[in-house]
Amino acid sequence: LTRVGIVGGGQLGRMLALAGYPLDIRCTVLDPAPDACASQVAPSIVGAYDDPVALARLATEGNVVTYEFENVPVETLRSIANRVAIHPPPEALEAAQDRLLEKALFDSVGIECAPYVPVDSTASLGTAIEQVGVPAVIKTRRLGYDGKGQRVIRDPRLAEEAWLSLGGVPSILEGLVLFERELSMVAVRALDGDSGFYPLVENTHRAGILDLTRAPAQEVSTELQRAAEQSASAMMDHLGYVGVLAIEMFQVGERLLGNEIAPRVHNSAHWTIEGAQTSQFENHLRAITGLPLGSTAPIGHSAMVNLIGSAPDASAIAAIPGAHLHLYGKEPRPGRKIGHVTLRAEDPLELELWLPKLRALVDDAGDRGPWLT
């Protein structure tokens, strides 16, 4: 029996815990909320992410500690590093928490990204606008997610107002990329350095939240897939990475620009539960507990749709051939991710046949929040 401590008890922790049972890997989650959704399926420690006592308990109970939530204070995580192995490395988390460090990481491993300049004063904003030009996006360095903490700037005269509306906090200005589509590369690296790569997938967002993932992405050349794998490989080797890593990218012609990394299991790979030989959750657990990795090969074609706000009728979803409903046991609330559905088919045409039906059921039920009204 191997014990894994997970910092964070949301749906990612829940799906990790569920993937652990068949492998005799038992997860314990740490979350400040007593009703965190992972605590329905795994023992939980209720405590703040920066509570040294709670983290120490997690370290004592687990043979290894991982995290599924990115806003864990890195210092607190490091405070238990002498007692228990932590995977992925806290350095990866540190970069994911700060857009400037993240860009520097992309640079240092040779992954091209949009031009960017740090902004921490009105003067540096002026310089940044001159260097990057418009249109550009101003993003706070920290605590931005799902499109929050960022504004598009088209008129340089409105730049200062945009930055101040984000709180005038340390930020970066980056060039707006006229991408053809957004792809993500989800990769996994084992303790012994062996690695695996899922096929590139295509993501579409609505109101800043991931809405649909198509896996594999259509019309990906062998070269593009290889380039994405090499980028992920360079980053994982550089960090001495262990576990699942997601890199969100923009495709511009045959170029891939790095946008964001997520040093954890990722929403754009939920399809792997039914759509790949080994799910990202199982592979993450295999990696961090020292087991050999499982195949990342896809099984047919998948489309994953997020359920936001409220759930569609389960029986209607279950009636769609190839549809797999995943509810996270969360209270419905506008704008909240409460589940997902993966539609899987052997034949891409079959997928196209059923996806509109699924889409209609999900849209009828969904409550994405006030921004759509």
Question: Does residue 115 bind ligand AMP (CB under 6 A)?
Answer: no
**Of residues 39-78, those binding ligand AMP (CB under 6 A):** none
Please identify, using beta-carbon distances, which residue of 38 and 262 lies nearer to ligand AMP: 262
Which residues are registered as beta bridge partners of 343?
Answer: 303, 323
**What's the angle, vertex CA 245, arms to CA 242 and CA 251, rounded to 5?**
150
**Of residues 217-256, those binding ligand AMP (CB under 6 A):** 248
- Residue 189 CB burial class (10 angstroms; 0-12, 13-18, ≥19): buried
- CA-to-CA dists, residue 107 to 113, 130, 234, 252, 258, angstroms: 8, 21, 11, 18, 10
Q: Residue 201 and residue 179: Cα distance in Å, rounded? A: 15
**List 23, 85, 177, 207, residue binding ligand AMP (CB under 6 A):** 177
Q: 3-class SS at 338?
A: strand
Smallest CA-to-CA distance from 199 within 268, 251, 141, 139 is with 268
Q: What residue is closest to ligand AMP based on CB?
A: 177
**List 73, 118, 144, 168, residue binding ligand AMP (CB under 6 A):** 144
Please give the single-letter amino acid code of residue 2.
T
* # of chain residues touching ligand AMP (CB under 6 A): 12
Please identify, using beta-carbon distances, which residue of 337 and 344 lies nearer to ligand AMP: 337
**List 102, 260, 274, 282, residue binding ligand AMP (CB under 6 A):** 260
Smallest CA-to-CA distance from 339 within 369, 309, 359 is with 309
Question: Does residue 185 bind ligand AMP (CB under 6 A)?
Answer: no
Minimum Å gap between C-beta 137 and ligand AMP is: 5
**List 48, 85, 176, 327, residue binding ligand AMP (CB under 6 A):** 176
Question: Does residue 282 bind ligand AMP (CB under 6 A)?
Answer: no
Binding site for ligand AMP (CB under 6 A): 114, 137, 144, 147, 174, 176-177, 182, 205, 248, 259-260
